[in-house]
Amino acid sequence: MICILLVAGHGTVLETQIKNDVTGLYGQLTGVPKALLPGIGGKKILDFWWETVNTRQLFSEVYLVTNADKYKHYERWATANDFPVENVVNDGSTTLEGRLGAVADLELAIHSRKLQDDIMVIAGDMLCADQNFDIAQVLSFFRSKPGELAIYYELEEGEKSSSRGIVEVCPETHRISRFLEKPQDGVTALRLASVVFYCLRKATLPYLSDFLTLQPQAQDRTFGRFWEWIINEQKLPVFGMKLPTGFQLIGQVGLSDYTKWLAHYSAQQQQCPAKPITCRSYARVGLMGNPSDGFNGKTIAMTISNFWAEVTLMESQTLVLLPHPLNDPTEFGSLQDLYCISRKEGSVYLGGLRLLQATCKKFYQFCSKQGIALTKQNFTLKYDTNIPRQVVMSATLKCLMKFYNITESDLPKPTRANFILNVETDELFITAGLQDRVVQVYEGLVYMDFSKQLMDEQGYGDYIPMDMSSLPPFWLAYLSDPSDSGRIHSNVRQRWLNGEAEVVEAMKSFAALTDQARVALQGMDWSRLAQLMDENFALRRSVYTEDCLGPGNLKMVQLARQFGSAAKLPGSGGAVVGLCLDQVRLVRLILSRLKQDCVSYFGHFILIVPYKWLIDAQAINCNSVI
């Protein structure tokens, strides 16, 4: 790969305004080529690009194309910055009117130096908001695609699409389907702007000559026109890669625009290192349809704020994953202490660090595959949780998205849920369903349809947030040592894959119950909802069998029924969620324990109680309390 930096523009507007500035603030910049003007952090604009591409492992040669008017400036710059002077190409132009045009300058460098390789071309007079993006990631993405590569970014507020080349990018293939060079206002709502930062294959270089033949005027020999021709007319495959940062060409801008964007980008840099980023993801309660989410069924679930996993990300010199003092023990009082902890909490073998590491790995892999170049910034991650550790992955992803400025359009919510599930199933081989990840991403009360047709056609289901403002007072009781999700599913999945009629029909019935529950929730028919919750549990009990569900789960449901409450498993086991329409006995019995225990609430509706309260309540004379 060969890199060519283009700095042959004449930039008469900016140069003239600097020369005529009456404030005296810019007198020292009179006559300075625009690529050698101060950039972010006081560094020359060209210095940044030279440091970025000055890597022998990535580029065999780097060339600089300038004009005759500024050639001596760049020759001196080359000498001072260990740039090979013989690689500075002079295009011979001395005025704006006599310019060759950007595409012609690139063609000149290729032919005059007889270059026979893939080419990366960058405008050397381009301000870049983020000084840390990874050029190696750009090359890796280019080599993974069967075509050319154009870098783009999302326009900031206030930037007009009419001043940029605008691209339309397929979100699945990342191929640019349309290129609009400085479209008039109102022509497009697209906000993805191409910049002079491209990779061209050796086989495509002859198209440069063909284009120049068609465009005899220098003002038409721009890269914007070239890509319009290549993409819209020649239909060559050109792919787009997004950099989560801003760019500003200062070729024909005035002094006010140059100083405005320099100040704007410099202010962004001064905010680094950023403040710590802390994100939480919450536990979920499956109200209906579970566990059919893993079987092309339908479910309704909601998040609860009492139980959460929290991740904090802090910028640091190296990437560090901090172990949790309880979940990732590395010190023990004695060999006997290690034995006892390991015997009681076997899951400490796995810990939470693997969840952080797997999420980070898959995040980098995802961004590379999706054409999103990340900045070269390191961080330290730490976590805390009062629920099963898998939820840490959702919170970690939130932190990474904020840290690397990954937007909702880069990683939409449905894709986010799939991402987290893939970390679990493909990377860590944890048995899991999509419901949990969807509701943790969307939060609140969510209806989810995982039908095979939807999953096959769009890669995700239909996820519809529902109103929580009028929910009835559900309650949740839990065991101190909940069952493991992977065990509770037993052999049902294999039976389903084998097409066993009982299991297939059961999953369809779960989906039907969910649709009925959605209607009941929307109509506030709590009696019907309670009935459906009981039916959901009965169906699960028949398919999974009592041996699989376990005595603890069965006992909790049995006790709830004794107090006239509907009840079902909200997840894979270890807890029950209930709805008691005539709550007098149950609620008063539970509240009678307030002097000795504590109660917590989530939202305005759901009472969280330890399972032992139900045991205590069973032993009390109900009539005397009521």
Range scoring the smallest mean pLDDT among 57-61, 125-129, 346-350: 346-350
% of the chain beyond a pLDDT of 70: 88
Tell me if the bond preceding 273 is cis, omega within 30° of 0: yes
How many residues are present in the chain? Answer: 626
Domain 279-607 belongs to what topology?
Ribosomal Protein S5; domain 2 (3.30.230)
**In this predicted model, what pLDDT tens digit does every residue of 84-127 receive, in sequence order?**
999 999 999 999 899 999 999 999 999 999 999 999 999 998 88
- Residue 251, pLDDT score: 64
- The pair of structure tokens assigned to 506 is 């059961």
**In this predicted model, what pLDDT tens digit does every residue of 444-471 receive, in sequence order?**
999 999 999 999 999 999 999 999 888 8
In contact, 160 and 138? CB cutoff 8 Å: no
pTM of the model: 0.80
135, containing H or E segment: helix 135-143
| Band of residue 152 on the pLDDT scale cut at 50, 70, 90 | very high
Cite the beta strand spans of 61-147 per DSSP E. Answer: 61-66, 88-90, 119-123, 126-128
Given a cut of 70, whether residue 588 has pLDDT beyond it is no
Helices (H), 215-287: 223-227, 255-270
- Residue 269, pLDDT score: 63
Same fold, 2-269 and 279-607: no
- Is residue 539 left, alpha or beta, with left meaning phi > 0 and alpha meaning psi from -120 to 50? alpha
What CA–CA distance (Å, rounded) separates 572 from 474?
18
Report domain extents, the chain: 2-269, 279-607
Amino acid residing at 228: E
Helices (H), 545-596: 546-549, 551-562, 584-591
DSSP letters for 568-582: E-SSSSSEEEEE-SS
What CA–CA distance (Å, rounded) separates 203 from 238?
13
**In this predicted model, what pLDDT tens digit does every residue of 296-336 receive, in sequence order?**
999 999 998 888 999 999 999 999 999 998 888 888 889 99
In contact, 87 and 63? CB cutoff 8 Å: yes
Question: Cα 84–128–191 angle (5° rounding)?
Answer: 135
- Residue 313, pLDDT score: 97
Which CA distances in Å does 447 have to 439, 443, 510?
Answer: 9, 11, 13
More confident residue, 28 or 86: 86
**Distance of alpha carbon 307 from the chain centroid:** 24
The Cβ of residue 581 has, within 10 Å, a number of other Cβ atoms equal to: 13
Amino acid residing at 131: Q
The CATH number corresponding to 2-269 among 3.90.1200.10, 3.30.830.10, 3.30.428.10, 3.90.550.10 equals 3.90.550.10
**In this predicted model, what pLDDT tens digit does every residue of 565-575 receive, in sequence order?**
899 999 887 88
- DSSP-based three-state secondary structure for 69: coil
Pairing of strands 462-466, 445-449: antiparallel
What CA–CA distance (Å, rounded) separates 503 from 493?
9
Given a cut of 80, whether residue 419 has pLDDT beyond it is yes
Which CA distances in Å does 182 have to 1, 162, 174, 236?
Answer: 30, 4, 21, 21
- Residue 274, pLDDT score: 66
- Residue 484, pLDDT score: 41
- Residue 350, pLDDT score: 67
What CA–CA distance (Å, rounded) separates 46 from 48?
5
- Residue 614, pLDDT score: 47
**In this predicted model, what pLDDT tens digit does every residue of 458-514 receive, in sequence order?**
999 999 999 988 888 888 887 765 544 334 447 888 999 999 999 999 999 999 999
Mean pLDDT for all residues in the chain = 86
- The pair of structure tokens assigned to 272 is 């680094």
CA atoms within 13 A on the CB side of 138: 30
Which CA distances in Å does 374 have to 110, 458, 465?
Answer: 30, 26, 31
Given a cut of 60, whether residue 201 has pLDDT beyond it is yes
Amino acid residing at 462: D
**Distance of alpha carbon 330 from the chain centroid:** 32
In contact, 401 and 411? CB cutoff 8 Å: yes
Range scoring the smallest mean pLDDT among 214-218, 384-388, 417-421, 461-465: 384-388
- DSSP-based three-state secondary structure for 414: helix
Range scoring the smallest mean pLDDT among 29-43, 301-315, 433-447, 599-613: 599-613
Highest mean pLDDT, choosing among 194-198, 241-245, 269-273: 194-198
- The pair of structure tokens assigned to 558 is 């049995």
Range scoring the smallest mean pLDDT among 274-278, 458-462, 530-534, 538-542: 274-278
The Cβ of residue 504 has, within 10 Å, a number of other Cβ atoms equal to: 15
Amino acid residing at 469: S
Please confirm, yes or no, whether 436 is among the known catalytic residues.
yes
% of the chain beyond a pLDDT of 90: 56
- The pair of structure tokens assigned to 526 is 């709590």
More confident residue, 488 or 196: 196
In the set 118, 436, 449, 534, the catalytic residue is 436
Q: CB burial class (10 A; 0-12, 13-18, 19+) of residue 624? A: exposed
CB-based burial, 525-534: b 16+ in 10 Å, e otherwise: ebeebbbbbb
Question: Cα 409–412–417 angle (5° rounding)?
Answer: 160
Task: Tell me how many helices (H) and strands (E) the chain has.
Answer: 23, 22
